[in-house]
Structure 1
Amino acid sequence: MKAKDLPTGLKLEVDRSTGLGNLYFEDKPRIEGMGFFLNYAVHSLGHGREEVEFKGMEEREGDDPLGPYLEVACVYQLPYMIGETPSVRQVFKVYKDRPLVSTWLENTCRKPVFPSYGDTGGLSIKEFPGFRAGLFSSLTTETGAFAEHRLVRDLREFTEWGVFLLTGYEDEAVACIVPVNLWGQRTRIRAGRDGIRVSASGFDGTKVYNRIPGCVMGFGRDPYKVVEEAFMALGALDPEVKLRREKGYPEIFEYLGWCSWNAFGKNVKREDIISSAEMARKRNIPVKFFLVDDGWMASKGKRLSSFSPDEDKFEGGFEELARKLKGEYGIRYLGIWHTLQGYWDGIDPESELYDRYEDSIFEGTDGRYIPSPVGMRGFKFYFDWYRNLRRWGVDFVKVDDQSDLKSITLNKVPIEEAMGNLLYSVHAAASLELKGIINCMGMATECAYRWSGPSVSRISHDYAPGDEDKAKRQIIDLVYNALWFSQLAYPDYDMFQSHDPCALAHAISRAISGGPIYLTDNLEKSDTDLIKRLCLEDGRILRPDEPALPTRDCLFRDPYREPFPLKAFTKVGSIGLVMAVNVNREGVEEEVEVGPEDAHLDPGKEYAVYQYLEGKLEKVRGDGAVRRRLGELECELFIVSPVEEGFALIGLVDKFIAPKGVVSVERKADGIALRLEEEGTLLAYLEAEDVEVSVDGEGCERTEKIAGPNTYTFEDRKLVISAGGREVELRVR
């Protein structure tokens, strides 16, 4: 059977004798041998086993928010087992107007026949014909706290668990697989000698799972569009999934922040926070939010015993701390850290806190006590906690250890249901009482799919001060994880120290991230010049329009093991920004090539390309490029601006995201008027014989070198203005 030819070029073919499915895109086989597997507690079933009988196919048409689709179900009869003879339907939902397929299983089991710990069932895939390489996000712990980038050349030799796969084919087509978490079960991708499996697990053997989630598969030529549409299809299948664009960005994280963790660790106390605020003020570091990390809690061991902080470390509590920070030091927002469970090992059952909220607390299978994941029972715990925090002057929370729930709810609540209930409770309570959340240790998709409010989330392992190799691997993971994770949340690249030997690479990667930027400095050591390139004088960070993503030529390369620089791009309006960094593990020198196409700019135009650190300005065609050599962990930020009527804006080059430092550009009959965010150094490319410059209505002096405010240089089409005001006018001759 073949689905009728669709305008998307996608076809589903099903073998009438076995029920195995194949997917074609642009008349080429892309995925072959799609079948199913089920794991009874006492037996494993699936294709290739004689006891599974293919009975035929069923078809129906329908519509959802993404448009019309054809739904094809392959029906199987299973053998008599555990008192019943169930049937299975493997469903493929093929969109007519988009090259997308969703798949899942349905069965008629009436008893809890699936294992407590392991796979319920899922989709099996035998081959990816024409496969060239795969970009795989691998979970690094059993719980799935963080994902790491893997380049896969041979899927059969790769056995890690993951949550996203982008495959590249020999003809430059791409496909992606996005797991679906539904009906109490979470889903993972795993490759092996028999092909790929998309495996669902509920971790509650007492439940009947009549529907088993699978995945969304997307196809196309543009990998960024393929990923975006696959997540749109995920949202159509599971309306509880809210994509980043639906949720907004918290106002708090428009400002530069500071976190206590790498400065003070678990020994943090009130005096450390106050002295850090004092040092920030003294050194004119415009930090506007403070985050008190692990170490503040009143606890017994690793169990939370009170909403209030440890009185020995925080005399006067958060209320006094917030009053002092906001009243004396100009810190606008105060945040505190906690885990989803309360603290690492939950809540102290011998505490007054437990007694007060016993009805909202759940006893886990592993002996931990946590806010209840049954329905909305845990909501009151978080709501009262956050209400107290708000009354004390706390504005936001960082919620850590989100993926660590499986061993707590084992055989009591299905994992996807439990995670959804807890995270909905957290986000609902925060939306009512606080101004924002940083999600952390939640790259397992059962977490990320259930963030209902404005979402910022860590997308890598912890920052490691002074460690060059970990800096390389973290920046790699950050950039590649953003390809898919930025569909769900604004990426948090984690805190960093401006006085780290690797600080420049950390700073530029965070500048282009599109997410929050916060320090964990010993502030007396801070590199204030570096910090001021990240934000304005009032502490507002200069964020690009979208999270940075890996460039097309990097998608199926391994910049850690190959002599190939890592590149990531984003935009500010029509201006592209491309970061390049040498993250090779051997530290070999590399050559980077960057052009307008790296930033997805119109190849039919001409562009001015500015190398921010090198200070070099060049003009290139839309299909052209500039080159630069990079040493170990050396980086460069390329600003690629379209040349229109002989002018290209680079921006306020005191800042990394220079174009964002310019509020407006207006062309006039005799020149150009620009409005800046603040005073600073403005740079532009200008094709003219001469130019006169004025700032705030006063003429500027042209000099050979910048000689102070309201002077400018103009040579080889490079115009540099030291603007002592915000209103700049150019009169071109």
Structure 2
Amino acid sequence: MAPPNESKPTPKVAPTAAAAPKLTTTGTTAAAKAGTSSSSGSPCLFSLRDGELTVGVGAGKTAALLTGVPGNVTLTPFAEASDPTKASSDAPRDLACQAAANASRGFTFPVAASRAPCRVGRLPGPRRFLSVFRFKTWWSTAWAGRRGRDLQMETQWVLLEVPELAGAGARYVFVLPLVQGSFRSAIFPGEVEGVVICAESGSATVTGTDFRRIAYVHAGDDPYRVMQEAYLAARVHVGTFRLIQEKALPPMADRFGWCTWDAFYLAVDRIIEGGIGLVRPDQAGDLYESMHSYLAGAGVTGVKVDVVHTLEYVCEEHGGRVELAKAYYDGLSVAKNFAGTGIIASMQQCNDFFFLGTLTVAMGRAGDDFWFEDPNGDPMGVFWLQGVHMVNCAYNSLWMGQFIRPDWDMFQSDHACATFHAASRAICGGPVYVSDSLGGHGFAVLRRLVFPDGTVPRCLHYALPTRDCFFKNPLFDQQTVLKIWNLNKFGGVIGAFNCQGAGWDPVEHRFRGYSHCYKPVSGDVRPADVEWSYREDTSAMAKAASYAVYRCQTEELLLMTPDSEPIQFTLQPSSFELFTFAPVTTIGGAGATKACFAPIGLVDLLNCGGAIIDVQHGSGDEVRMKVKGGGRLLVYSDVEPKKGLVDGCEADFEWGNGGKLMVDVTWKQEKDGVSDVALI
């Protein structure tokens, strides 16, 4: 179990010494302000002049991001600022070509220090931002605000909204603290709307004054692409980690799991009184190899590396937190054991880990622990804690998903909010597992998540908040529904969740209930809420003229066009709705009957569209599908078929209610549960 809520105080900012050198932007002024990055040909959209950091594309199309910027703060085109000795020579050529670098932001410090907080300016407000900050040693969560004072300690990144530059290539600005040498960094709030970037080594013996590569700023008109491109640039130029697209997922991501640790709520014996033991950094590889080779030899196919960020507490005598982390992460013997992929990282939600520990790790926890009740005794915690968990996972996936496949953690299938949790796990795109106690299984819930062979209908991508949930507070603003999107092979899905009722208290520095917010909220969905173009293999679905939409809870089938009015809905507290979107295709013609068709999926599953493996139709009026699972197969067809076939045998079907066509399929173990369905 995790310790109580923690917080780190805002570091005291040392005044800029008069003798400290004032560093100007690298290269010519024009190049730094509106020139071209040497690596990619992309224009640098940022300018630092007269104490003001601006973003824009020219006169009349700029916006101030920070004012009152001190003279020791620098701005450099990122390709020039990146450390050539650390540049990633192993970056795939296609990634290197995509790395559109904007600018590196940093500072110099007046005296050599192991912890160097620098006020980098004021955030003129109101300007909406979304951020993620570390609220415990190893857990992080989202936070939205409008002013510098709204920032929280240990902020891992900030996404600023710049609506006045919409369409000009800079509607969103992403600020990303980095690792530079033996220092890592984070953002803190400062006085009078100030923004502080703090670089720290974690050891008094490791000091520095030059932090000109300690952060990166990137701009664009698509918030998802802005973040993706920023981490891509960091990957290519920093070179200490790999992105998720460079790594294979472990096989356990596709199989249902049972977490026995929390099923029995095992207690850990106190091994070392009053302290933490540490194997010498140069022996970390031997430690992992001895454990992992033994486990692999016994048939274990994967491991979970937990309590990752305890390392920062024991780094003083080992070269600081960055150097100690490198030694331990490099020592992970996953490449030798567990097929090179069989590992889940946990309690790792800090940028140290993601920038240093993800060369091979491809899956990790996206949220804090699942709590079946409030450990502090709030009787309503059994409900509101579940929404907090869900929001943490959704927003953390925005950045963690760049490195790893987010793991939304286990839950209990007989919990009061079991179906609420199950719906999010069904479409999260990560592993699905529970911590049920013996005999405490909710089989009705589990059957909606898992195939009889133990595999799961996993989405193609990882779930992310929809655009209209950016800069919002779906926990206690009394109006925002958490909406997450994901993609299947032949459609998309939107999950809508009422998570209102709890959240972070910035004064008390802890999560607590907001009982006045635990009430119904309303929202809407539309086809454009699904980011169809985020993957090349699903981008064509964005061009559909219409979509069939299935509501999981009400079992309604609707038809929408991209211009239709959105579907309105209201959710009770701790409740949800899943909307499956399937593009409508016109089949037939040239003498055959024309029909509009869309495959929805097996509606007995929460991620019903994940059951559709293949869909084929030619110039005739016949559609053939491969469907995994058993139960009710739903498709949309505006024309009643002449007959239906399942595995070559004629099958009964129901048709009506505006094109709602239902046919039963059964699980056939000899065919790995796959049925061949034909509608003629």
TM more than 0.5: yes
Q: Counterpart of 2:283 in 1: which secondary structure?
A: coil
Q: Which residue of 1 aligns with 2:371?
A: 464
Distance in 2, matches of 1:695 and 1:561, equals: 49
Could you say if the C-alpha distance between residues 28 and 379 of structure 1 is closer, same or farther in structure 2, counting changes exceeding 3 Å? same
How far did 1:215 drift? 1.3
Contact 2:383-2:417 within 8 A present in 1 as well: yes
Could you say if the C-alpha distance between residues 195 and 105 of structure 1 is closer, same or farther in structure 2, counting changes exceeding 3 Å? closer
Q: Which residue of 2 aligns with 1:140?
A: 135
Q: Does 1:622 align with 2:562?
A: yes
Q: Does 1:611 align with 2:551?
A: yes
How far did 1:407 drift? 2.5
Contact 1:579-1:636 within 8 A present in 2 as well: yes
- Residue 181 of structure 2 aligns with an amino acid whose one-letter code is W
Q: Which of 523, 527, 530 matches 1:599?
A: 530
Distance in 2, matches of 1:519 and 1:686, equals: 37
Could you say if the C-alpha distance between residues 34 and 478 of structure 1 is closer, same or farther in structure 2, counting changes exceeding 3 Å? farther
Could you say if the C-alpha distance between residues 255 and 159 of structure 1 is closer, same or farther in structure 2, counting changes exceeding 3 Å? closer
TM-score with structure 2 length normalisation?
0.78
Could you say if the C-alpha distance between residues 430 and 550 of structure 1 is closer, same or farther in structure 2, counting changes exceeding 3 Å? farther
Could you say if the C-alpha distance between residues 431 and 132 of structure 1 is closer, same or farther in structure 2, counting changes exceeding 3 Å? farther
Distance in 2, matches of 1:138 and 1:468, equals: 24
Contact 2:100-2:233 within 8 A present in 1 as well: no
- The percentage of counterpart residues that share the same residue type is 24
How far did 1:670 drift? 3.0
How far did 1:434 drift? 6.9
Q: Which residue of 2 aligns with 1:370?
A: 278
Q: Which of 185, 188, 195 matches 2:186?
A: 188
Give runs of aligned pairs for residues 527-546 of structure 1, distance below 5 A: 527-546=442-461
- Residue 358 of structure 2 aligns with an amino acid whose one-letter code is W
Q: Which residue of 1 aligns with 2:583?
A: 642
Give runs of aligned pairs for residues 429-448 of structure 1, distance below 5 A: 431=337, 436-448=342-354
Q: Counterpart of 1:543 in 2: which secondary structure?
A: coil
Q: Counterpart of 1:386 in 2: which secondary structure?
A: helix
Give runs of aligned pairs for residues 53-202 of structure 1, distance below 5 A: 98=100, 100-105=102-107, 114-116=112-114, 119-121=115-117, 124-128=120-124, 132-141=127-136, 143=137, 145-171=138-164, 173-192=171-190, 193-202=192-201
Superposed CA RMSD: 3.0
Distance in 2, matches of 1:174 and 1:388, equals: 49
- Residue 581 of structure 2 aligns with an amino acid whose one-letter code is V
Contact 1:386-1:429 within 8 A present in 2 as well: no
Distance in 2, matches of 1:538 and 1:36, equals: 62
Contact 2:184-2:214 within 8 A present in 1 as well: no
Distance in 2, matches of 1:445 and 1:435, equals: 21
Q: Which residue of 1 aligns with 2:637?
A: 686
Which of the pair is proportionally richer in strand?
1
Give runs of aligned pairs for residues 669-680 of structure 1, distance below 5 A: 669-680=620-631
Could you say if the C-alpha distance between residues 135 and 60 of structure 1 is closer, same or farther in structure 2, counting changes exceeding 3 Å? closer
Give runs of aligned pairs for residues 333-348 of structure 1, distance below 5 A: none
Q: What per-residue deviation string (whole Å, max 9, x for no partner) do you get for residues 645-685 of structure 1?
A: 01111012222222221221110323101111233321111
Q: What per-residue deviation string (whole Å, max 9, x for no partner) do you get for residues 392-436 of structure 1?
A: 332222111111122311153121111121112125566477751
Contact 1:596-1:603 within 8 A present in 2 as well: no
How far did 1:20 drift? 6.2
Q: Which residue of 2 aligns with 1:313?
A: none
Q: What per-residue deviation string (whole Å, max 9, x for no partner) do you get for residues 186-228 of structure 1?
A: 1101122252122110022213436434212111111000010
Contact 2:522-2:568 within 8 A present in 1 as well: yes
Structure label with greater radius of gyration: 1
How far did 1:157 drift? 4.0
Contact 1:420-1:446 within 8 A present in 2 as well: no
Contact 1:427-1:452 within 8 A present in 2 as well: no
How far did 1:695 drift? 1.0
Could you say if the C-alpha distance between residues 592 and 430 of structure 1 is closer, same or farther in structure 2, counting changes exceeding 3 Å? farther
Q: Which residue of 2 aligns with 1:204?
A: 203
- Residue 102 of structure 2 aligns with an amino acid whose one-letter code is L
Give runs of aligned pairs for residues 470-549 of structure 1, distance below 5 A: 470-549=385-464
Q: Which residue of 2 aligns with 1:385?
A: 291
Could you say if the C-alpha distance between residues 561 and 195 of structure 1 is closer, same or farther in structure 2, counting changes exceeding 3 Å? same
Could you say if the C-alpha distance between residues 97 and 231 of structure 1 is closer, same or farther in structure 2, counting changes exceeding 3 Å? closer
Distance in 2, matches of 1:388 and 1:61, equals: 44
Q: Does 1:580 align with 2:496?
A: yes
Contact 2:78-2:216 within 8 A present in 1 as well: no
Distance in 2, matches of 1:464 and 1:551, equals: 26
Q: Counterpart of 1:676 in 2: which secondary structure?
A: strand
Contact 1:10-1:24 within 8 A present in 2 as well: no
Contact 1:383-1:433 within 8 A present in 2 as well: no
- Residue 158 of structure 2 aligns with an amino acid whose one-letter code is L
Distance in 2, matches of 1:444 and 1:606, equals: 42
Contact 1:133-1:152 within 8 A present in 2 as well: yes
How far did 1:575 drift? 1.1
How far did 1:587 drift? 2.3
Could you say if the C-alpha distance between residues 691 and 421 of structure 1 is closer, same or farther in structure 2, counting changes exceeding 3 Å? farther
How far did 1:252 drift? 1.8
Q: Does 1:664 align with 2:614?
A: yes
Distance in 1, matches of 2:194 and 2:495, equals: 36
Give runs of aligned pairs for residues 228-247 of structure 1, distance below 5 A: 228-247=228-247
Distance in 1, matches of 2:76 and 2:113, equals: 29
- Residue 220 of structure 1 aligns with an amino acid whose one-letter code is G
Could you say if the C-alpha distance between residues 210 and 380 of structure 1 is closer, same or farther in structure 2, counting changes exceeding 3 Å? farther
- Residue 451 of structure 1 aligns with an amino acid whose one-letter code is T
Distance in 1, matches of 2:578 and 2:302, equals: 32
Q: Which runs of 5+ in 1 are unaligned?
A: 38-45, 48-53, 67-94, 268-294, 304-344, 346-365, 703-711
Q: Which of 5, 21, 45 matches 1:11?
A: 45
TM-score with structure 1 length normalisation?
0.73
Distance in 2, matches of 1:456 and 1:96, equals: 24
